[in-house]
């Protein structure tokens, strides 16, 4: 089966500062891949490259077997509809209600009528237990509620691949557990491939996926949490010792 994500020799710089220095990464269909590492290691930049928000100077980003950089604009848009994204702060539109935020991808990318869109939005909000907040606005929601709405919006087009940037950042333990449970349900029940960027140990432990640790712009380690805890690589040992969760 063609992997949803395949990065080969990825180099990306901001001016003279090289952030990614030859990243090779493959994520299989149905996998939970956790991108981790210390501050400034390149994990958020890697996610931006995967989403097509940053163009690599060298290397290749292949999504569902297609070279993202080689696609025409319309082809790239079509490909990205197979992906969902949950940004760190949710990125909800403050002037739109919860229901309207979730409806937006359906309005933009489908020919569905208003009645059917409203029905789908209600189902999506029910999936994340936010149907009671449909008429509220983002400013009226807690951080955990905004994350759940953002997740509902990311799922609107039924993505095969879901990318999450620090999904539990800033949340209390209860909201963190709820977000983790929702992500695991998507993976277990629907087979959604997850790529999660995080530095938080509770997320790493709960999601229990394949760890991909970046250091100095390269993949320094890949393996399970158990393997990471046994690793003698200094960057891995430090992260899962004093450095974890900082």
Count of the separate structural domains present in the chain: 1
Boundaries of domain holding 27: 5-82+159-239
Question: Would you place residue 25 in the very low, low, confident or very high pLDDT band (cuts 50, 70, 90)?
Answer: very high
Whole-Å CA distances, 185 to 152, 201, 243: 13, 20, 29
Asked if the structure places residue 188 within a domain, the reply is yes
Whether 217 maps to a domain, the answer reads yes
Is it the case that residue 47 has pLDDT exceeding 60?
yes
Whether residue 199 lies inside any domain: the answer is yes
Mean of per-residue pLDDT scores for the chain: 88
Residue carrying the six token digits 């604009």: 73
List, for residues 159-208, the tens digit of each pLDDT value: 999 999 888 777 778 878 888 888 998 899 888 999 999 888 888 888 88
Q: In the chain, what percentage of residues exceed pLDDT 90?
A: 41
Domain membership flag for residue 245 = no
Distance CA 197, CA 121 (A): 27
Q: Is the pTM of this model over 0.85?
A: yes
- Tell me if 109 is assigned to some domain: no
Instruction: Considering only CA atoms, give the Rg of the chain.
Output: 18
pLDDT attached to residue 90: 66
Judge whether 95 lies within some domain.
no
Residue 71 counted as domain residue:
yes
- Residues in Cβ contact with 202 at an 8 Å cutoff, skipping those fewer than 6 apart: 168, 173, 176, 180, 245
Give a yes or no: residue 212 inside a domain. yes
Instruction: Give the domain CATH number at 226.
Output: 3.40.50.300
């Amino acid at each position: 089966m063609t992997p949803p994500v395949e990065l080969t020799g990825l180099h990306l710089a901001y001016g003279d500062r090289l952030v990614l220095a030859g990243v090779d990464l493959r994520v299989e269909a149905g996998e939970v891949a956790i991108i981790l590492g210390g501050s400034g290691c390149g994990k958020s930049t890697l996610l931006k490259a995967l989403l097509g928000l940053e163009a690599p100077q060298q290397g290749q980003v292949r999504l569902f077997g297609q070279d993202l950089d080689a696609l025409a604009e319309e082809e790239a848009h079509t490909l990205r509809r197979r992906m969902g994204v949950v940004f760190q702060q949710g990125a909800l539109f403050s002037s739109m209600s919860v229901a309207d935020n979730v409806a937006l991808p359906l309005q933009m990318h489908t020919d569905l009528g208003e009645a059917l869109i409203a029905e789908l939005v209600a189902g999506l909000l029910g999936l994340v237990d936010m149907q009671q907040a449909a008429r509220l606005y983002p400013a009226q929601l807690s951080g955990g509620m905004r994350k759940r709405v953002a997740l509902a919006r990311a799922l609107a087009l039924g993505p095969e691949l879901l990318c999450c940037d620090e999904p539990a950042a800033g949340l209390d333990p209860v909201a963190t557990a709820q977000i983790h449970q929702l992500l695991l349900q998507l993976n277990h029940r629907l087979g959604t491939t997850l790529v999660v960027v995080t530095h938080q140990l509770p997320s790493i432990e709960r999601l229990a996926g394949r760890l991909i640790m970046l250091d100095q712009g390269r993949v320094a380690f890949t393996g399970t949490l158990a393997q990471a805890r046994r690793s003698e690589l200094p960057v891995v040992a430090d992260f899962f010792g004093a450095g974890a969760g900082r």
